[in-house]
Chains A and B, each alone.
Chain A
Amino acid sequence: MSTLTPTKPARGIRSFEGKTPRAQRESPFARVSAMIVMGVFTLYFLVPIWWLLVAASKNRSEFNSTNPLWFADFSLFENMANLVAYRDGVYLKWMLNSALYAGGGALVGTLIAGMCGYALAKYNFPGRELIFNVVLGGVLVPATALALPLFLIFSQISLTNTFWSVFLPSLVSPFGVYLSRIYASASVPDELIEAARLDGAGELRTFFTVSVRMMVPALVTVFLFQFVAIWNNFFLPLIMLRDETLFPVTLGLYAWNSQVNQIPVLRDYVLIGALLSIIPLIIIFLLLQRFWRNGLSAGSVK
């Protein structure tokens, strides 16, 4: 998240891995209490996920009868196979949908937000500040407030209950424009753009070959935030979609979970499905970490 404070690429910044000097000077009491606090909260944060892993690895009879925080017969893969087979693999369809909504939406959204932010940072034109301020206001408008009116508009043109009804609104990221502008002003030198012009490169070409490269840390951050926002989005798909083959995984699992009382077998699928649905985001976050570190070291070289 260091990439988020791009305007001060930090002399003397400490990296995430940096060792803080002189640990030995602190009193043992302070050190022990600090470690106890961190330890207790590690349990708080991880035990629910551990429970989910254990619960997802059990078959139904063991779920109630065995220790909830330890494995019985390890049938995780069996459960996975059952989940995937259930109703012609609708769960896989949901995961694919989520990947398309979030991956595609974040990719296109980052590109257009990056372009707009770059133009706002690097060109002078009438209405520039007005556009920027309107976009900034957009950051404070909660996306959920837009879901209902979007539904009303889309139903006028019969676009509700389609892939596009969820995909298109997800492309807009005012925060992305904001961050791209800040970052481009700070890290893409005007001289470089002038040099590219003298070499005869057009404006668009300069952006895509030269400037984009310098904006990578900001663009990656925008991409990841938007990916998470779309992946977690619930209200928009809830209000737009009726056809379950269009559901993202969050809406699908929600739908199953509300039918557990009528169809008890769904509980198994909800648990294993919830576990699997977390994995893509954890992978994305591990990648994200690497970029933070790269962004940091890139910042401190300058």
Chain B
Amino acid sequence: MSAPAVPMTDAAGAAAGKGPRAAKPPGAKPRVQHKGAILAFVIPFGALFALFYLLPIGYAIYQSLLVIEREGTFGQATQVFGGLTQYILVFQNGPFWESIGRVLAFGAVQVPIMLGLALLFALLLDSPLVRGKKFFRLAFFVPYAVPGVIAAIMWGYLYSPNLSPFSAVTENINFLSADLVLWAIANVVTWVFVGYNMLIIYSALLAIPAELYEAARLDGAGQLRIAWSVKIPLIMPAIVLTAIFSIIGTLQLLAEPQVFRSFSSAVTSTFTPNLTVYSTSSIPNFNLAAAFSVVLALATFILSFTFLKFTQRKESK
């Protein structure tokens, strides 16, 4: 969930804005200039991308189409082509779909809360209401410097009934119980990522020229009104982007629940889809684990793509 923060629409703009190169003489046969240099620039990344992105995707699909066959109970195990056998197993696998449902519920609650807070803080930082902006910006962003694993370890202690500094609360409410542990993890993720998302939205706000709402101010609009009618519509692309990366991050949830397994027995080995992949591969049943991976990657891709299309259509209306 670390990274991209550029409105995707820029890609199209940059690509479309590139006309044919002026250097090309008119009527000449289209010939690629500087071939050697282009190869030298593209090949290092291209080769690594092919090896460590495309090849694994292909290999996962290939592995997911195989089944293990044994001759008798103790016979030699061989991999043979099994068609969609593994995928049928995936679709029959109750715990896997429960884990998908769990992270979807997680995302439906946690992502709006996290982005809502991020938006609120960004708007407050951008308004004349808050003093000490530099301090708040830094203080809210610091948790992002804490890796997910470390944040989960830390909160694990904060939640624990007897070690927590808030034992008055944690002795009465068991955050690590089966009912609450999902939301305890949601809090950890929120704690880490609010500041990061806040900064992305805040940068988008800074890019709005001040004249745009000077006019609204002169018309007597208050801060709330300006935020709602001027600022939020203008920074919608940034919000959509943070939402997409949050959705991807949610479906990939792994480090935090994996750490929480040592604090709470309620976190099972199939708590999230990625934990299912991990525990299936440590059985080891690589073919089924590969099929889980493929289904999960596809689900992630479809969900974020649909969300992107959906918001774009809404905006154009």
User: Across the interface, do A116 and B42 meet the contact criterion of CB distance under 8 Å?
Assistant: yes
Pair A204/B37 contact, Cβ less than 8 Å: yes
**When the two chains form their complex, are residues A250 and B147 in contact, meaning their CB atoms are under 8 A apart?**
yes
Stretch with Cβ within 8 A of B (4 or more), from A71-79, A80-88, A89-97, A168-176:
A168-176
User: Which stretch, B7-15, B92-100, B176-184, touches the partner chain A?
Assistant: B7-15
Bound Cα distance A182, B13 (Å) = 9
Mostly helix, strand, loop or mixed at chain A's interface? helix
Please count the residue pairs between chain A and chain B whose beta carbons lie under 8 angstroms apart in the complex.
325
Instruction: Identify which of A12, A14, A136, A142 gathers the most chain B CB atoms within 10 Å of its CB.
Output: A142
Q: Are A116 and B32 in contact (CB under 8 A)?
A: no
Q: Given A42-B140, A171-B48 in contact, is the A51-B290 Cβ separation under 8 Å?
A: no
Complex contacts, A175 vs chain B, CB 8 Å: 3-4
Query: What is the CB-to-nearest-CB distance from B103 to chain A, in angstroms, rounded to a whole number?
Result: 12
Indicate if the CB atoms of B49 and A174 lie closer than 8 Å: yes
Inter-chain contact B42/A26, CB cutoff 8 Å: no
Q: Which of A45, A134, A169, A190 has the most CB of B within 10 A?
A: A45
Contact call B37/A145, Cβ cutoff below 8 A: no
Total interface residues on B, using CB and 8 Å? 117
Counting chain B CB atoms within 10 Å of each CB, which of A63, A229, A282 scores highest?
A282
Measured CB to CB, the closest approach of chain B to A36, in angstroms, equals: 11
CA distance A89 to B154 in the complex (A): 22
Whether a CB of chain B sits under 8 angstroms from the CB of A115 is yes
B200 pairs with A141, CB closer than 8 A = no
B264 within 8 A of partner (CB) = no
Q: Which residue of B lies closest to A281 (CB)?
A: B145
Contacts of B131 in A (CB 8 A): 23, 35
Interface residues of A in 44-77 (CB under 8 A from B): 44-46, 48-49, 51-52, 55, 63-64, 68-69
B313 within 8 A of A: no
Contact in complex: A145, B14 (CB < 8 Å): no
CB of A4 closer than 8 Å to a CB of B = yes
Task: Pick the residue among A52, A131, A150, A258 that contacts B154 (CB under 8 A).
Answer: A52
Of B11, B142, B300, the residue contacting A178 (CB under 8 A) is B11
Q: Which residue of A lies closest to B217 (CB)?
A: A22
Confirm or deny: B5 has a beta carbon within 8 angstroms of a beta carbon on chain A.
yes
- Contacts of A2 on B, CB cut-off 8 Å? 203, 206-207
Q: Is A140 an interface residue (CB 8 A)?
A: yes
A278–B22 Cα distance when bound, in Å, is: 50
Which residue of A7, A20, A261, A277 is within 8 Å of B128 (Cβ)?
Answer: A20
Q: How large is the interface on A (under 10, 10 to 19, 20 to 34, 35 or more residues)?
A: 35 or more
Kindly list chain A residues whose C-beta atoms are within 8 Å of the C-beta of B20: 124
> Which residues between 108 and 149 of chain B lie within 8 Å of chain A, taking CB atoms?
117, 120-121, 124, 126-131, 133-134, 136-149
Residues of A within 8 A of B138 (CB): 289
Given contacts A38-B130, A49-B146, A179-B6, contact A148 B207 (CB under 8 A): no
Stretch at the interface among B68-76, B82-90, B156-164: B156-164
Bound-state CA distance A261–B133 (Å) is 43
Closest residue of B by beta carbon distance from A203: B37
B contacts with A: majority SS: helix
Q: List CB contacts (< 8 Å) of A108-159 with chain B.
A: 112-113, 115-116, 118-121, 123-126, 129, 131-132, 134-136, 138-142, 144-146, 148-153
In the complex, whether A257 has a CB less than 8 A from a CB of chain B is yes
Q: How distant is B159 from chain A, measured CB to nearest CB, in Å?
A: 11
Contact of A254 with B149 in the complex, beta carbons under 8 Å: yes
Once bound together, how far apart are the Cα atoms of A25 and B223, in whole Å? 10
CB within 8 Å of A: which of B176-209? 191, 194-195, 199-200, 202-204, 206-207, 209
Q: Are B296 and A145 in contact (CB under 8 A)?
A: yes
**In whole Å, how far is A123's beta carbon from the nearest beta carbon of chain B?**
5
* Minimal Cβ-Cβ distance residue in A for B19: A124
Cβ of B10 and Cβ of A146 under 8 Å apart? no
Query: Which residues of chain A are near B200, meaning CB under 8 Å?
Result: 1, 4
Residue in A30, A52, A146 whose Cβ sees the most chain B Cβ within 10 Å:
A146
Which chain B residue has the least Cβ–Cβ distance from A257?
Answer: B153
Q: Is B254 an interface residue (CB 8 A)?
A: yes
How distant is the Cα of A190 from the Cα of B23 in the complex, in angstroms? 10
Judging by beta carbons under 8 Å apart, are B49 and A135 in contact?
yes
When C-beta atoms are compared, the residue in chain B nearest to A191 turns out to be B22
B210 within 8 A of A: yes
> Does the CB pair A141–B53 fall under 8 Å?
yes
Taken together as a complex, chains A and B put the C-alpha atoms of A251 and B274 apart, in Å, by: 17
Q: Choose among B134, B141, B281 the residue that contacts A148 (Cβ–Cβ < 8 A).
A: B281
Q: Which B residues between 1 and 54 are near A, CB-CB below 8 angstroms?
A: 2-7, 10-11, 13-15, 17-18, 20-24, 32-38, 40-42, 44-46, 48-49, 51-54
A5 lies within 8 A of chain B by Cβ: yes
Q: In the bound complex, what is the Cα–Cα distance between A51 and B164 (angstroms)?
A: 9
Closest chain A residue to B40, Cβ basis = A204
User: Does residue B106 face the partner (Cβ distance < 8 Å to A)?
Assistant: no
Interface residues of chain B, those whose CB is within 8 Å of chain A, are: 2-7, 10-11, 13-15, 17-18, 20-24, 32-38, 40-42, 44-46, 48-49, 51-57, 59-60, 63, 117, 120-121, 124, 126-131, 133-134, 136-150, 153-158, 162-165, 191, 194-195, 199-200, 202-204, 206-207, 209-211, 223, 248, 251-252, 254-255, 258-259, 261-262, 274, 277-278, 281, 286, 289-290, 293, 296-297, 300-301, 304-305
Q: Which 3 A-B pairs have the closest CB atoms?
A: A203-B37, A68-B165, A119-B41
Known: A225-B3, A253-B149, A285-B141. 9 other contacts (CB 8 A): A16-B137, A34-B124, A124-B33, A139-B4, A149-B293, A172-B48, A186-B14, A228-B144, A232-B149
